Structure 1
Amino acid sequence: MTHEARSALLRAALDAAERGWAVFPLRPGTKRPALHGEESCPGIGDCAGFHRKWEDRATTDPDRIRRAWGEVPFNIGIATGPSGLVVVDLDLPKHKGNADTPSGVTTFAALCERAGQAVPTTLTVRTASGGQHLYFTAPEGARLGNSAGRLGKRIDTRAWGGYVVAPGSTMPGGPYAVTDSAPVAPLPGWLYALLSPRQAARAVIDPSSIRTAHRASRYASTALTAETAAVQHAGEGERNATLLRAARALGRFIAWGDLPRSVVEEALQEAGAWAGLPDAECRTTIRSGLNWSIARNQQRRAA
């Protein structure tokens, strides 16, 4: 690598530190930390007394950065937690030729639409694989962790315990580059609500959270929870069929008066979107399955 390329990486690391972002070196041309592991820890310097991991050793000190990047063309890792950042990572499908598989960008746009929110304008970085990193400042006093898929398919987040590759770093597939230099926006409150620790236990949609004046039977509520969970966790190639089966299974509770149709439709629509199905496809499948089931189930006789 040329001297100019090493200088560019050094400048990028210093630029990140000037923003208050704690950086650490990644192996040249990769995403892997270049710092020693616990087994090979020399027990000196930063690690005097005990081993310190990359998150603890990340720095904004320009002198330390110049020493680290002065001779070796390290890529740049940003420790998101110490930097006060939450980064939303929008990935591309592994098999890019499959046009039916939505990208993280598409899924995130659909998530924003369902929440009645515009896609946030903030600092955006194009990854080497063609995905996007959306940078946000973490709420004051919050200590969010990482997440994988909690917001939707191909959407991860990095906060405490995580890091992202900084713009200016290079990979065999290309560079990490800023595509929108807007100021880093605060993490929107509605996204924080979805990522906050109290939401972490809600691995599936909780139908009881849907406002309704109707009191469903315990059996119907249990069925609604189970069917929406099945849709959420359906694999590619099985999602639409799983959604159809769920709609047919739940339609009888609508026919029997145990669940309002609007509650079932909303829960299944959200589950389908979580699984990565397009909204229009979800609506069509849900309507078909419910209509089929309701037509075949007579109103339950009063006890």
Structure 2
Amino acid sequence: MALPDRQATTLALAHALSAAERGLAVIPLSRTKLPALRSPHRDETGPGRGSAPRCRGECGRFGHGVHDASTDPTRIRELFAAAPRATGYGIACGLAPHHLIGVDLDTKTDNDSSAALRELALRHLFTIPATMVVLTPGGGRHLWLSGPPDVVVPNSASRLAPGIDIRGAGGYLVGPGSRTDHGTYTVAPGTAHLTPAACPPTLLQLLLPPPRTHHPAPSSTGGHGQGLVQFVLAAHEGQRNTRLFWAACRAYEDGIGPALVGPLVQAALDTGLSEREAHATIASAARMTGHRP
């Protein structure tokens, strides 16, 4: 029998506060696993209509999805007070101190996602370390891994292998104890005491956008450079850092990284990133591709 919403919300808040004590930033979720707070910009007109892609919480109101995530108990209580029908909580990925990466092994596909992950591990010579595992109501599993602080892991669906989704920067995982329309998320036996283990370096490389073949370019950035800038300008909410990181990696691999820093930073500013965020992301791309920022 389903719990009344009020009791379910109280339990979800308790679980969320417990997660926050472990350094995990959280938001309230509805029974559908979506953020429980609607966007305050949903009725606005103009370029930001509906999703208001240029606002990530700067307006000071709740309802910006994963951008509302916090580890502050007072703010978390305020979030849940504003979402009286929340029955679960989401854990934001990619944030300090854990820089969480979620490996979502789905069971709704014809392929065995667990077997696919084992095959990848054998083929690429890495081992999944002992780590926190969350069981989903549908029989799937979420493996919690920790990433480096200067690497942006993008969200992806079945890119690594069929049935394996990745939750990275801008994404979230449903926290254990959350109640949904399909059941309750629980911690796998024997893993509750574990912290997110470091993502194996080889697996981390597989999670990043595929590298391009290096083709040295003349000093002018040319059409390819403009294409990378346009790629960043086309970013939507939740894609900005990922697209900027990918474009900067391609620029450094193609020998036009230093010349393209300025245009990429300006493109990032135009999409709503701060100058500090833009420079930090480009510096990470430089280091990842073996260049000095």
Shorter-chain TM-score bucket reads: 0.5 to 0.7
- After superposition, give the CA deviation of every residue in 1:106-144 in whole Å (9 maximum; x if it has no partner): 211221122233333110000121101000111121111
- Residue 52 of structure 1 deviates from its aligned partner by 7.3
8 Å contact kept, 1:9–1:73 = no
- Residue 47 of structure 1 deviates from its aligned partner by 4.6
SS at match of 2:18: helix
Task: Flag structure 1 segments of 5+ consecutive residues without an equivalent.
Answer: 95-100, 203-303
CA distance in 2, matches of 1:51, 1:13: 17
Q: Which residue of 2 aligns with 1:58?
A: 69
Q: Which residue identity lines up with residue 58 of structure 1 in the other structure?
A: A
CA distance in 2, matches of 1:49, 1:176: 31
Q: Which residue of 1 aligns with 2:233?
A: none
- Residue 185 of structure 1 deviates from its aligned partner by 0.1
- Residue 77 of structure 1 deviates from its aligned partner by 1.2
- Correspondence 1:1-303 to 2 at 5 A: 1=4, 4-27=7-30, 29-37=31-39, 38-40=41-43, 46-48=57-59, 53-70=64-81, 72-74=84-86, 75-83=88-96, 84-94=99-109, 101-179=110-188, 180-181=191-192, 182-197=194-209, 199=210
8 Å contact kept, 2:177–2:185 = yes
Q: Which residue identity lines up with residue 187 of structure 1 in the other structure?
A: C
- Residue 49 of structure 1 deviates from its aligned partner by 7.7
Task: Flag structure 2 segments of 5+ consecutive residues without an equivalent.
Answer: 45-49, 214-293
- Residue 191 of structure 1 deviates from its aligned partner by 0.6
Instruction: Provide the identity percentage.
Output: 36
SS at match of 1:151: strand
- Residue 161 of structure 1 deviates from its aligned partner by 1.9
- Residue 81 of structure 1 deviates from its aligned partner by 2.4
- Residue 3 of structure 1 deviates from its aligned partner by 5.4
8 Å contact kept, 1:138–1:186 = yes
- Residue 4 of structure 1 deviates from its aligned partner by 4.7
| TM-score where L is the length of structure 2 | 0.59
- Residue 194 of structure 1 deviates from its aligned partner by 0.8
8 Å contact kept, 1:167–1:177 = yes
CA distance in 2, matches of 1:120, 1:163: 21
Mark the CA change 1:34 to 1:200 in structure 2 (over 3 Å): closer, same or farther. Answer: farther
SS at match of 1:87: strand
Give the paired residue count.
Answer: 194
- Residue 201 of structure 1 deviates from its aligned partner by 5.9
SS at match of 1:14: helix
- After superposition, give the CA deviation of every residue in 1:246-274 in whole Å (9 maximum; x if it has no partner): xxxxxxxxxxxxxxxxxxxxxxxxxxxxx
SS at match of 1:56: helix
Q: Which residue identity lines up with residue 92 of structure 1 in the other structure?
A: T
SS at match of 1:5: helix
8 Å contact kept, 1:85–1:137 = yes
Extract structure 1 runs of 4+ deviating beyond 4 A.
41-44, 49-52
Greater per-residue helix proportion: 1
8 Å contact kept, 1:92–1:129 = yes
| TM-score where L is the length of structure 1 | 0.57
